[in-house]
Structure 1
Amino acid sequence: GSTSLRIVGSIHEMPFDAAAVAHRLLALPPMPLAHGAAFTGRPITRIHADDRYVLKSRLDRRFADEATAVAWCRQRLTLERRYAVYHPARTWLAFVAEDGRWQAANLSPRLAPLHLLADQGRLSEAALLQIVRMYYRMAGRFGQRLDEGLSNFGLNADGALFYLDDDFFAWDEHASFVAMIGQWLRAYAGQWLGADAARRLGETIARALHDHMGELDVDIVAEGIRDLYLPASAEASRRALLEGLLAGADERPNASLFGRGPVALLADIHANLPALDAVLAELDRRGIRSILVLGDVVGYGPHPEACIMRLQRRNAVVIRGNHDHYVAHRGESKASMSVSAQAAADWTIQRLTDPMREWLAALPLKLADGPRLAVHGAPVDRSYINAYVYEMTYQRNLDALAALEKKICFHGHSHIQGTYGRRRSQHLPLDERPCQELGRLDAALVNPGSVGQPRNGDPRAQAAIYDPARETVEFLRIPYDLAQTIADMQRFGLPEQLVQRLRQGR
């Protein structure tokens, strides 16, 4: 006799007799599963197929009775209709398995899996662009990640792409997507993924991110693609992809900053011009010309335009902070901040010209040079602008630094001057001594302190000088006209809480 079977429903339409097809397929032996074969999957997966249809079940989806199996299938159908990544004829059903339990299964038209098209040299640029759009639509709407392997996607006869896998995964801040792009570049840069196709791929990624994610995500993906290890044969395609992704805005500071003698480290200037001018005067007195700013040029303070212009005139190398990002993108929510900070940032948005906001938007999220990394926030955070380095997180950040194969990370964001370190597996808490030898440490997290909004109880402007030849850092604390900054904050109606923090250095 035939297997007891119950059709639960399809995602959209069922242009075939699902019960008859399912009975026919279940009478066939299961297909072999192997990496690179027509069907791939885990040992718990069973696939029955002919040349037109595929029935897939998993041993972990067996239930004691029909009602439970049907309820599970209905729940799954509701989810899949929302996700809209599967073929519209995909149908869920339940049948009695050989052990007497009810097995949930899905039935779909047979599609051409991309890994086989790739093996045959028939994988098209259009298919990969469809993956990108589907991937970020899923991530942006549902916070879920599709399995990136080509075997998990298939095309119908019209070239439309559908997801084949049953699983979804937790969002991982683009890490798996970047790895997938790396695989494509390694495999196809010498074939059809040349410079022109790579540029189109970059433009498609940018559009998908703009449509479904956020402005910051473009930079996170770009940084990830820059960091990929690729053969020389893929470099031209990588450059073209980045050009498309960033639409010509891929100007990044070069690494020669650390080859020209001592470098001034500034962070968290926060639109405090008297404090910035006091620091710049001290650098002039010492004859130091190279300046690295670790983010947050604006926010909190009353002088955003003047501080930007000072740094531009000095040819400072500047990376982006969370306040810079928020202002550049007129309130992009991925930059986290308090209510009073947001009020000041919203005020800043109105003050700046479009070219100044564009300058902030073009700032890189990090600078990497040999053993050194410079970020605003913390190395554990893929955005580099939101997470903090402090007593509870510094060990994890030192681990992240080691994973990135870096020895020193310059950062800001916490507004606390000093160094966290590791020497011979021993963790060293915050060191606030004025002069320190970084060469004695195996790894170091160095914060020069905040120029314009210190939080260690000392209201003076704070900065540091790093000597790459001697591997030393000197921390500076410089008096400035605090009363002038406070008067300007009050004149512009900035939050009183920010005034009090500035006065107390807290």
Structure 2
Amino acid sequence: MHLERIALISDVHGNLTALEAVLADIAARGITRIFNLGDYVGKGPRGQAVVDRCREVCEVNIQGNWDDFLPDPDREYPAGGSMLWWREELRPDQHVWLRSLPFCHDFRLSGRQIRIFHASATSVHRRVYFDHDETAYLGMFENTPATGDGPLPTVVAYGDTHDAYYECDLGRTLINVGSVGNSLNDPTPVYTILEGADDPKAPFSIQFVRVPYDAHAELAVARDLGAPELDGYEAEIIHGHYRGTFYAGKARTYHRD
């Protein structure tokens, strides 16, 4: 029996240095299938290069919240502002590609029905935190207008909150795959490996992998490119502190940023 391994990555956020470190680790493990759960752009300085690289190496690419709102042609951003800088760093064809990405992707592995999306079963903009209640948990496994009809998943993997975790309850498994380019609390990039086979009786495993990289080199690139919010970016990729609480002068709270 041949076991298949799939790497799940998410939330690269323009951090090409972290992405390349994670891709090198994936390749070193002999993994050739990579599924991307979205948020390619924003926060980091090289969204354009990240989009091109993910289009090259990822078998599946789905949409994140930043991929939806940042290139939205109906949104107006102030001249000289951070959002406008991140949007204009991208090419027009990338704006179109990001906004046309699918919402979710369903597949089977070791007899388990698996669904991946960015944030929740209803919207890329609806956030489900680690400290959720049972209603929010069960809602992650539902079919909605966004997911479409199909077999209900027993395993769901998502990103968005940049907090990697695993939860198994009520016969279902929920995974947050973590963030490659903007990991919080522990700023070391993290991704997830699923291992299984076509055989429904085959073993199934979930592994989290943290990959050290040169975050100071990434920060130097951002500085050289004139990227915005450098102190906030440093707070996130060096110290793992969300920039929202950093700029507000508040102590970081792990689950509700």
1:4-28 Cα offsets, whole Å, 9 max, x none, are xxxxxxxxxxxxxxxxxxxxxxxxx
More off after superposition, 407-416 vs 495-504: 495-504
Q: Is the 8 A contact 1:269 1:453 kept in 2?
A: yes
Structure with greater helix percent? 1
Give the Cα–Cα distance (whole angstroms) in 2 for the partners of residues 364 and 408 of structure 1: 19
Residues of 2 paired with 1:347 and 1:261: CA distance?
40
Alignment partner for residue 356 of structure 1, among 94, 97, 109?
94
Per the TM alignment, residue 282 of structure 1 is displaced from its structure 2 partner at its CA by: 0.4
How far apart are the structure 2 equivalents of 1:286 and 1:298?
26
Matches within 5 A, 1:348-387: 348-369=86-107, 371-379=113-121, 382-383=122-123, 385-387=124-126
Contact 1:489 1:499 in 2 (8 A): no
1:313-462 correspondence runs (5 A): 313-330=56-73, 332=75, 343-369=81-107, 371-379=113-121, 382-383=122-123, 385-393=124-132, 395-404=134-143, 405-422=152-169, 425=170, 442-455=171-184, 457-462=185-190
C-alpha distance in structure 2 between counterparts of 1:270 and 1:406, whole Å? 27
SS of residue paired to 2:70: helix
Taking the aligned partners of 1:394 and 1:410, their CA distance within structure 2 comes to: 17
1:497 corresponds to 2:257:
no
With over 3 angstroms needed to count, the CA separation of the structure-2 counterparts of 1:292 and 1:497, relative to structure 1, is same
Q: Does 1:291 align with 2:20?
A: no
C-alpha distance after superposition, 1:67-97 (max 9, x if no partner): xxxxxxxxxxxxxxxxxxxxxxxxxxxxxxx
Cα deviation code 1:230-249 (max 9, x no counterpart): xxxxxxxxxxxxxxxxxxxx
Q: 2:215 aligns with which of 476, 482, 489?
A: 482
Q: Percent identity?
A: 27
Task: State the partner residue of 2:245.
Answer: none
User: Please, which runs of 5 or more residues in structure 2 have no aligned partner?
Assistant: 144-151, 198-202, 242-257
Q: Which has the larger radius of gyration?
A: 1
1:321-348 per-residue CA deviation (whole Å, 9 max, x = no partner) reads 0111112314649xxxxx9xxx543212
SS at match of 1:262: strand
Partners in 1 of 2:219 and 2:95 — Cα distance?
A: 24
Match of 2:249 in 1: none
1-structure distance, mates of 2:187, 2:239: 6
Change in Cα spacing, 1:500 to 1:350, as seen in structure 2 (3 Å) is same
In structure 2, do the counterparts of structure 1 residues 321 and 388 end up closer, same or farther at CA, with 3 Å as the change threshold? same
Residues in 2 aligned to 1:402 and 1:356: alpha-carbon distance in whole angstroms: 31
* Whole-angstrom CA distance in 1 between matches of 2:72 and 2:192: 30
Go from structure 1 to structure 2 and tell me whether the alpha carbon gap of 1:368 and 1:303 turns closer, same or farther (over 3 Å shift). same
Report the TM-score, using the length of structure 2 for normalisation: 0.78
- Shift in alpha-carbon separation, 1:275–1:331, aligned structure 2, 3 A: farther
Which amino acid letter does the alignment assign opposite residue 487 of structure 1?
A
CA displacement, residues 389-431 of structure 1 (integer Å, 9 cap, x when unaligned): 2244252233114443221111000000111220xx4xxxxxx
The answer to whether the 8 A contact 2:62-2:104 is kept is yes
2:191 is aligned to 463
Q: Which residue of 2 aligns with 1:250?
A: none
Q: Distance in 1 between matches of 2:45 and 2:195?
A: 32
Closer/same/farther in 2, CA of residues 397 and 260 from structure 1, 3 Å limit: farther
Gaps in structure 1 of 5+ consecutive residues: 1-258, 334-338, 426-441
Query: In the comparison of the two structures, how many residue pairs are matched?
Result: 218
Distance, in Å, in 2 between the alignment partners of 1:344 and 1:396 is 36
- Displacement of 1:503 after TM fit? 1.2
- Contact 2:164–2:190 under 8 Å retained in 1: yes
The CA RMSD over aligned residues, in Å, is 2.2
User: Is the contact made by 1:264 and 1:465 (CA closer than 8 Å) also made in structure 2?
Assistant: yes
Contact 1:401 1:407 survives alignment (8 Å)? no
Amino acid at match of 2:219: I
Partner Cα separation in structure 2 for residue 297 and residue 260 of structure 1: 29
